[in-house]
Structure 1
């Protein structure tokens, strides 16, 4: 039958389809030759359930049926299953519903007994993205979010780590430090000012917290506008489809849902030594600290440690970083060490190969005075030091141990609390999914969580199939001399392909804006790692210099598109910029050639 040519014919057929759905316990739109349709029919036969079937390839207007079903459900494929007026989906969704008990509920007519179609546990970037997308697709959605106060009593509003105690305040404090450096440079450019320039911590902290408060409010408004039910309460599973929400005052309320998404994120790890929780702070506390931290010891070598240590030093504070082993574990080590060397040249002190064993309070105050005892990792040497503030940044732990996942049957890695999932973010319990920082072996980055959350909602409720791509994700570490990368580190590339199959192009450089200020001559560095076995395709790209995130974002697109070294060479750069270096690299590591730049 040709496509429906008028609205009345379309309305009539749509009404006929709806009548079939409404009047049959199980309504199956199928094609007689489709193997997945046969699987669905066999499933209902095994369950001794009668289903009404329309074979779209055998009825005269089957094409029109299918087009209208796409409009009604968002699903283009067959089988297309409805049970007691509820759209279930295709074979994958139907078999999944059978495994998790949902099919039995629907067949018994109890499909509407759940309070919500979806409950998202966690109000961070990923959880908010997933919940809003699901609500947009017509589902009844709840978000449960509760911030457990830090040992220092710090807490915050809706939006998760990134907005409140991560990316946003970190970048703004990094910008504060860059502005201080810009003022120093400005004298060389002719700016004259006589008054003493000093930084006011309270002014900066208040301005940043006010901005974050506006973001918190914006997220609440967005959830309300999308008709997402938001509850500020701690969630804990009591059954596979039921959880209790515990409010700040201890009131417990039960909620049920057909599906759940875990988006609980991570919190900073403590050291487990005397005095750590009593006297130390973490990044959860730093960004709203009511006083200037003064002389600060940063314990750790993670990106959080180096970023915080970097901007505190940029504010003029006395900063020491205590490092157990290497800097920026998991990142390219040449880039990490160059970033660390730059920090050291600009006044950050490093205590390498030491671990703290005890923190004691010498004097209370805001800030007070603390004594830190540390032990060498290579000998029995013990050292002591006095600081105003001790910031712990030794990693983060997944917030999965106290939400009843064992009761729900969800498996977690017992070592780190991370949740293993398949390539569709599905846990071992079919109706429970997980996204964001708690995933085993995935990136701990805000944009990744947002992308995963949106795509998950579309797969669950719009018949979509696109999955989150966790490969070649660009990222930036906002140390004083910023480091960005996309693709493999040099260590990983060597491990995967061997030195004989790689060509690595590299260069030092001196940004034009640094030249008049006469600083950091040839301290910036970039390199491109190419796979000789695949037409010199770029498999790793690394940059250490100003505006690193802005530089890497575009090259991240290029790498996703499979850029080769020849294509980089054939791209005309924008002059005079740092980003153009990637279009002119011609010295390889293997050649041993000179890489210092004399000028533009």
Structure 2
């Protein structure tokens, strides 16, 4: 019995140690085969507590911290989540893990499975009556949140195992080499370092209209909603807005998107139009050229939204269960008091000017979404963070390439892209100096259930003169993310049209459509397929 009680106390003490919000390296003992150790490749001349302090526990900051400690640096990570106006909070891991890529992809998958259930009937599966098939929001929400919490836990354990000091608290710059951290308990820590990396990312904006903060939600809240969203108005037509509207529609909820200017601004606009047409064909409503005026809560709990049509200045209103704002994001630099360290930011967005991740203050760097005019993508932040750590703590000179970066918009019919848009290509090289190859295609798996194929489309932009180097690749269709990833590697290697067209495709797949592309827009030839093998 005494042994059992002793073991119990050990387990409780161990668990308690893992759950500490902050801890100091001076009071921690790490055992590595019985030896207290840290990699010794980097020799510091710093007089501060740390070689590197990373402010922000998202993908980019964590990647930088873990790479730095592998190179022998003494590292601390600061991370704190201010509750959203609705009260949503989350754990370590940043936007991607908690309120971004991961939960978005899981809910996107849930909506695709619903579509697959319908398709399966045409393939011979016997289903119950249509009204017996329904979706349970609470089950999906719990599954998604459980997965997120497991990732939060693994991330905490990784920091502990790698001997990175973690402060679950809000950090602010005091001067060039000092930050003040207030942890959840209210205890204050003063930390110094020779290098700092700002990796705080951003949070959603709210429009300055009555009722927005009180009654609206953002992507910070949608994945953890206790109750189903019901009839939803998504205000904003960037990739976040379209992705949310897409999976909500796929889960069976009425979804409307309010568009101020154009959908997917910054992306290839022909592809954006195709995505919009596809979403409309699936039942998503679009309010074009409109701006919201107010959100008012009615006595029955529903939300009355008023808006103006920019084209004719007419005003309209309608009632929704949920209003989701996706009107852009702001960087969290003001909260860090970066001006105390002399770091310059863009006044409107709070984002940081940086050359090769280095701010105007030579020992302060930034990675991820907090950077001005850089792709707001998790893999970009991770790669940039790793390369920065290698330059700081080893002999590496490798810089981050922000140009040829692939991404995918996870709308119901996905849009994958790498390289530049047709608009950018024309502006950069001139219309007479580029060639645009394009084709519509029919995914084989769409044929039996007779799915709509009119928006399955692929486009390759290249230089016109031999060897016709590929400048951009765009793909709308199933599994677009999986398709575009491999071609992104080819583009990094200098892919040309001759190489692409001489590649033997895997038949029948949607990815092979890139290898069969030969019709140019300039030719005026019909890009629609004549057969499955044409």
**Displacement of 1:534:** 5.3
1:464 aligned partner: 396
1:566 aligned partner: 498
Q: Measure, in 2, the Cα distance between the counterparts of 1:430 and 1:463.
A: 18
| Alignment counterpart, residue 181 of structure 2, candidates 239, 245, 253 | 245
| Alignment counterpart, residue 510 of structure 1, candidates 420, 434, 442 | 442
Q: Measure, in 1, the Cα distance between the counterparts of 2:284 and 2:256.
A: 6
Are residue 212 (structure 1) and residue 145 (structure 2) matched?
Answer: no
Q: Measure, in 2, the Cα distance between the counterparts of 1:467 and 1:363.
A: 57
**Displacement of 1:412:** 0.6
| Alignment counterpart, residue 203 of structure 2, candidates 239, 258, 267 | 267
1:34 aligned partner: none
1:525 aligned partner: 457
**Displacement of 1:249:** 4.0
Are residue 127 (structure 1) and residue 61 (structure 2) matched?
Answer: yes
Q: Measure, in 2, the Cα distance between the counterparts of 1:73 and 1:286.
A: 44
2:236 aligned partner: 300
2:517 aligned partner: 585
| Alignment counterpart, residue 384 of structure 2, candidates 427, 431, 452 | 452
Q: Measure, in 2, the Cα distance between the counterparts of 1:127 and 1:72.
A: 22
- The runs of at least 4 consecutive aligned structure 1 residues that moved more than 6 Å come to none
**Mapped contact 1:522–1:596 kept (Cα < 8 A):** no
Q: Measure, in 1, the Cα distance between the counterparts of 2:163 and 2:280.
A: 51
Q: Measure, in 2, the Cα distance between the counterparts of 1:153 and 1:203.
A: 21
Are residue 385 (structure 1) and residue 300 (structure 2) matched?
Answer: no
Q: Measure, in 1, the Cα distance between the counterparts of 2:72 and 2:374.
A: 29
**Mapped contact 2:44–2:51 kept (Cα < 8 A):** no
**Displacement of 1:73:** 5.4
Alignment of 1:518-557 (within 5 A): 518-533=450-465, 535-557=467-489
**Displacement of 1:499:** 1.1
| Alignment counterpart, residue 202 of structure 1, candidates 126, 138, 146 | 138
2:107 aligned partner: 173
1:50 aligned partner: none
Q: Measure, in 2, the Cα distance between the counterparts of 1:519 and 1:416.
A: 42
| Alignment counterpart, residue 340 of structure 2, candidates 380, 399, 407 | 407
Q: Measure, in 1, the Cα distance between the counterparts of 2:62 and 2:489.
A: 25
**Displacement of 1:508:** 0.6
**Mapped contact 2:40–2:72 kept (Cα < 8 A):** no
Partner SS state of residue 402, structure 1 = helix
TM-score when scaled to structure 1? 0.81
Q: Measure, in 2, the Cα distance between the counterparts of 1:412 and 1:390.
A: 31
Listed as ranges, the gaps of 5+ residues in structure 1 are 1-70, 75-85, 89-110
1:330 aligned partner: 266
Question: CA distance change for structure 1 residues 427 and 445 in 2, over 3 Å: closer, same or farther?
Answer: same
Partner SS state of residue 193, structure 2 = strand
**Mapped contact 1:73–1:87 kept (Cα < 8 A):** no
**Displacement of 1:258:** 1.1
| Alignment counterpart, residue 318 of structure 1, candidates 254, 257, 261 | 254
1:309 aligned partner: 245
Alignment of 1:456-495 (within 5 A): 456-495=388-427
2:98 aligned partner: 164
Partner SS state of residue 309, structure 1 = helix
Higher Rg of the two aligned structures: 1
Q: Measure, in 1, the Cα distance between the counterparts of 2:399 and 2:52.
A: 19
2:351 aligned partner: 418
1:57 aligned partner: none
Partner SS state of residue 433, structure 1 = strand
Question: CA distance change for structure 1 residues 586 and 409 in 2, over 3 Å: closer, same or farther?
Answer: same
**Displacement of 1:179:** 0.2
**Mapped contact 1:283–1:393 kept (Cα < 8 A):** yes
1:46 aligned partner: none
Q: Measure, in 1, the Cα distance between the counterparts of 2:331 and 2:530.
A: 48
Q: Measure, in 2, the Cα distance between the counterparts of 1:531 and 1:348.
A: 37
| Alignment counterpart, residue 223 of structure 1, candidates 159, 162, 175 | 159
Question: CA distance change for structure 1 residues 369 and 591 in 2, over 3 Å: closer, same or farther?
Answer: same
**Displacement of 1:251:** 3.0
**Displacement of 1:172:** 0.4
2:304 aligned partner: 371
**Mapped contact 1:486–1:540 kept (Cα < 8 A):** yes
1:147 aligned partner: 81
Partner SS state of residue 169, structure 1 = helix
My pick for the range that moved more, 375-384 or 428-437, is: 375-384
**Displacement of 1:325:** 1.1
Listed as ranges, the gaps of 5+ residues in structure 2 are 1-38
My pick for the range that moved more, 177-186 or 411-420, is: 411-420
Q: Measure, in 2, the Cα distance between the counterparts of 1:456 and 1:119.
A: 13
Q: Measure, in 2, the Cα distance between the counterparts of 1:597 and 1:229.
A: 58
Partner SS state of residue 89, structure 2 = coil
2:222 aligned partner: 286
Q: Measure, in 2, the Cα distance between the counterparts of 1:557 and 1:492.
A: 21
Q: Measure, in 2, the Cα distance between the counterparts of 1:243 and 1:521.
A: 56
TM-score when scaled to structure 2? 0.90
**Displacement of 1:441:** 1.2
Partner SS state of residue 521, structure 2 = coil
Alignment of 1:14-53 (within 5 A): none
| Alignment counterpart, residue 288 of structure 2, candidates 338, 346, 352 | 352
Q: What per-residue deviation string (whole Å, max 9, x for no partner) do you get for residues 132-174 of structure 1?
A: 1111111111000000000000000000000000000000000
Partner SS state of residue 192, structure 2 = strand
**Displacement of 1:72:** 7.9
**Displacement of 1:379:** 2.7
Q: What per-residue deviation string (whole Å, max 9, x for no partner) do you get for residues 386-427 of structure 1?
A: 00000000111111112111110001111211101112x111
**Displacement of 1:580:** 0.5
**Displacement of 1:332:** 0.1
Q: Measure, in 2, the Cα distance between the counterparts of 1:236 and 1:163.
A: 24
**Displacement of 1:320:** 0.7
Q: Measure, in 2, the Cα distance between the counterparts of 1:115 and 1:586.
A: 60
